[in-house]
Amino acid sequence: MSDSILEADVLALPGLQHGFTTRLGGASSGPWGSLNLSHRVGDEPAAVAENRRRFEVLSGRDWSQVVCLNQVHGRAVLVVERPAVELPPEDARRHDACVSLRADVVLAVRTADCVPILLYDPVRRAVGVAHAGWRGTLAGVATAALEALVGLGCRPGDVRAALGPCIQVAAYGVGPEVHAPFLARFGPEAAPPGGQGLRVDLAAANRRLLLEAGLAAGHIQVLPRCTFSEPAAFFSHRRDRGLTGRHLAYIALRS
């Protein structure tokens, strides 16, 4: 794979495609430079279209198969039972996770600091993806995605998960209104006290949710890349004060 897409060892399995795009290798310029894959952030439509074309080349999948969501920082899960072109418009998909048994769809979420979570059950041959910011983490979107996979016949112990690049704890200072509920729900592992100010660890909290849902520790991989502190490689909503691009975290069954 190129510098434009990162992969997780835990998902390097036959019959599966997955990846976490970086900001490298695209056609956009300015704050969206260069592989911005969102049409919602002010980038030139022609540049986004070219970036999608480049994603098709890199992934080997047509953009018409990609199921993106209107992410609202909740825990609603879309069960994808039809081809992407037959689904309601993206604006109507007010979800932060989706799951499917279909091999003709590419499930995806867009991120620029939040945690992208990819899920795969190699036994049932089911896939899922979730977007977890601090609100979605507290709402348990990772748990909801696992519950939706169970609804498709999966057993949690068979599921593998990869948590992609996100803002890491050292860069994620928060106020007491965020720190306090994280500390109460996840403990000091995800909400370390004091020091250089209040911080939360989104990746640790979501890993905890997956473990509580029944995933084996050896089936969970956290990619320790920081969107905030690696500006050459990643977009960051916080670092760039809201004016930035979006990565794509995606997963798909091979036909």
Give the CATH number of domain 5-167+219-253; options: 3.60.140.10, 3.40.190.10, 3.30.70.100, 3.20.20.80.
Answer: 3.60.140.10
Which two tokens mark 22?
């970086």
Instruction: Give the CA radius of gyration of the chain.
Output: 17
Query: CB atoms < 10 A from the CB of 254, how many?
Result: 12
Percent of the chain residues topping a pLDDT of 90: 97
Can you tell me whether residue 158 is helix, strand or coil? helix
pLDDT, tens only, 213-235: 999 999 999 999 999 999 999 99
Among residues 213, 103, 81, 224, the alpha carbon closest in space to that of 160 is found at: 213
Judge if the upstream peptide bond of residue 34 is cis by omega within 30 degrees of 0. yes
Question: Distance of CA 102 to CAs 69, 121, 251, Å?
Answer: 17, 13, 11
Give 54-83 pLDDT, tens digit per residue. 999 999 999 999 999 999 999 999 999 999
Q: Against a cut of 0.85, is the pTM above it?
A: yes
Give the Cα separation of 217 and 95 in Å (integer): 27
Total Cβ atoms within 10 A of residue 50 = 15
Q: Match 């994808």 to its residue by tokens.
A: 80
